[in-house]
Amino acid sequence: MAIATKTQYWSSRMIGNDPTSLDGTFNADFTASSGGGSASGGDWVITNGVYIIAPTGTANTLVAVLEYTTAPDDGTVLMKIDDGTKKVEVQSTGSNTSLKLVGTTTVTITDLDLAKAEDNPTTLILRLTLNGSDARLYTHEIINDDDGSAVYKSVTAASSASAGVVWGNTSGSVKWASIYHSKFGAFSPEELLLSDFAQDTLARMGLAVVAQLKDSTRPYLKTQVSDSSIVYGYDISSQMLNRLITPTIHVLVEELGSPSFESLGGGKITQEYDVKVFVTVKGTNYENAYRHGLNILGEIFDELYTQTGLKATTDSIISYDAQLDSKMDDDETVCVHTLTMTYMRRIDMRHR
């Protein structure tokens, strides 16, 4: 998948209330497939209940925030995505510390805290995705570890003929704090965030720009900058710079705000935000580094202006500022040009 667009969002959101009668706009209800549950302390507590909603197409995402009071029996299905052709399940192992991801094979995920020990203030978040035959389970909304290695688990989906996005438990006692489902795709934690505010800020404004620059066919962006050196600016320290191959491009969203709401009640707003891009080039000949960096910066401007900033009904670039670096001392070998582009975007605030 790619970054979720403005028309791709969480189509069902349960936050501890009755799944069959959800509040909010654009929020499709689940149906009780068997049994039921009850609200308690901000959770939907189930001892014997299963809920279902119809999927759309072959790509779906299901997120669950849950805690065991009593562990369900081994093999109890907690989460399932079945598109009518392929299916994947998350099953209990009967333990408070592990789960099973089941497709054509079974992978066991260990070192979990499903019963939430007293010294653990956080509740486990599980994200299950199915896209054709590709099934994945993310824990704690983490994709990669500190070394850049993938930490999610994946299996090949099994064959099926009964469509449904399913969650619940038929044994044990489970506190379901939240359930989010998107019928619009199989999204990773970077492609569709749980918070719509975070989605607009980080994913649609920052990570989408990174993806746009990586996909560009302009000569410098395509041939002179490695895709691995075009990153979001989570870490713009000198230590991180030394880990990347120059030239590097760091994209960063530093500031955003809404000067005025478009409608009474705030259903739709106009948002202004700054996307800052740092282009870093190393070279003993500073003149060459300066010119090389400026060519890259120019292509970034052209790419973003033509591909992301001319949509008058959704996104527009309303101003920009470029700061061009200069050599100030004899030992300086790094040239950093900076481009700041200010966007105006219209946002529907009701997908929450």
Residues 234-260, mean pLDDT to the nearest whole number: 82
Both 171 and 247 in one domain: the answer is: no
Over the range 242-272, which residues count as b (16 or more CB within 10 Å of their CB) and which as e? eebebbbbbbbbeebeeeeeeeeeeeebebe
Residue 166 shares a structural domain with residue 291: no
Q: What percentage of the chain exceeds 90 in pLDDT? A: 68
Weakest mean pLDDT among 18-22, 43-47, 152-156, 324-328: 324-328
Judged against a pLDDT cut of 60, whether residue 263 lies above it is answered with: no
- The domain of 177 spans 12-182
pTM of the model: 0.86
Separation CA 42–CA 57 (nearest Å): 32
216 and 103 inside one domain: no
Looking at residue 264, its pLDDT comes to 57
The Cα–Cα gap between 107 and 90 comes to 10
**314 pLDDT higher than 90:** no
Say if residue 344 is in the same domain as residue 241: yes
Mean pLDDT score, 339-344: 91
pLDDT value at position 291? 95
pLDDT at 309 over 90: no
pLDDT of residue 72: 98
Domain assignment present for residue 51? The answer is: yes
Q: What are phi and psi of 29, to 5 degrees?
A: -75, 150
pLDDT band at 235 (very low <50, low <70, confident <90, very high): confident
Q: Tens of pLDDT along 1-48?
A: 589 988 899 999 999 999 999 988 889 999 999 999 999 999 999 999
Task: Give the pLDDT score at 193.
Answer: 95
Number of helical H runs and strand E runs in the chain: 5, 20
Least confidently predicted of 92-106, 180-194, 260-274: 260-274
92 plus 129 within the same structural domain: yes
Would you list the DSSP string of 41-103? TTEEEEEEEEEEE---TTEEEEEEEEEEEEPPPTT-EEEEEE-SSEEEEEEE-SSSS-EEEES
Q: What percent of the chain has pLDDT over 70?
A: 93
3 state DSSP class of 139: strand
pLDDT at res. 238: 73
Band the pLDDT of 136: cuts 50, 70, 90. Answer: very high
Q: Which amino acid is at 29?
A: D
Residues 224 and 317 in one domain: yes
Instruction: Say yes or no: 110 and 221 in one domain.
Output: no
Q: Is residue 320 part of a domain?
A: yes
Q: pLDDT category, 188, cuts 50, 70, 90?
A: very high
Instruction: Judge whether 5 lies within some domain.
Output: no
The span from the first CA to the last CA of the chain, in angstroms, equals 22
Q: What's the confidence (pLDDT) of residue 332?
A: 74
Mean pLDDT of all residues in the chain? 90
Confidence of residue 196 (pLDDT cuts 50, 70, 90): confident
What SS3 state is found at 202? helix
* Residue with the larger pLDDT of the pair 122 and 259: 122
Last residue of a domain, one of 182, 210, 245: 182
Q: Which of 157, 182, 207 is the last residue of a domain?
A: 182
320: domain CATH number is: 3.30.70
Phi, psi of 297, deg, nearest 5: -60, -40
What pLDDT score does 185 carry?
96
Residue 242 predicted with pLDDT over 80? no
Indicate whether 20 and 161 sit together in one domain: yes
Predicted confidence band of residue 265 (pLDDT cuts 50, 70, 90): low
DSSP string, 308-346: HSEETTTEEEEEEEEE-----STT--EEEEEEEEEEEEE
Number of folded domains in the chain? 2
- The answer to whether position 31 is within a domain reads yes
pLDDT for the residue numbered 59: 96
Residue 91, pLDDT above cutoff 60: yes
The yes-or-no verdict on residue 273 having pLDDT over 90 is: no
Structure tokens, 164: 């449904």
Say yes or no: 174 and 88 in one domain.
yes
Q: How confident is the model at residue 52 (pLDDT cuts 50, 70, 90)?
A: very high
On whether residue 70 sits in a domain, the answer given is yes
The two three-digit tokens of residue 287, written as one number: 């003149």
The answer to whether the beta carbons of residues 272 and 176 sit under 8 Å apart is no
Same domain, 130 and 228: no
Q: Is residue 165 one of the residues assigned to a domain?
A: yes
The CATH number that applies at residue 112 is 2.60.120.200
* pLDDT of res. 337: 96
Let me know whether 290 and 214 are in one domain. Answer: yes
pLDDT of residue 349: 67
Find the length of the chain: 352
Question: Which of 124, 148, 182 is a domain's end point?
Answer: 182
pLDDT band per the 50, 70, 90 thresholds, residue 123: very high
Instruction: Note whether 147 and 228 are same-domain residues.
Output: no
The answer to whether residue 3 sits within a structural domain is: no
Cα 116 from chain centroid (whole Å): 24
> Is 37 part of a structural domain of the chain?
yes
Token duo for residue 313: 């009904």
pLDDT score, position 262: 57
**Whole-angstrom Cα distance, residue 30 to residue 22?**
8
Model pLDDT, residue 176: 98
Asked whether the beta carbons of 201 and 252 are under 8 A apart, the reply is: no
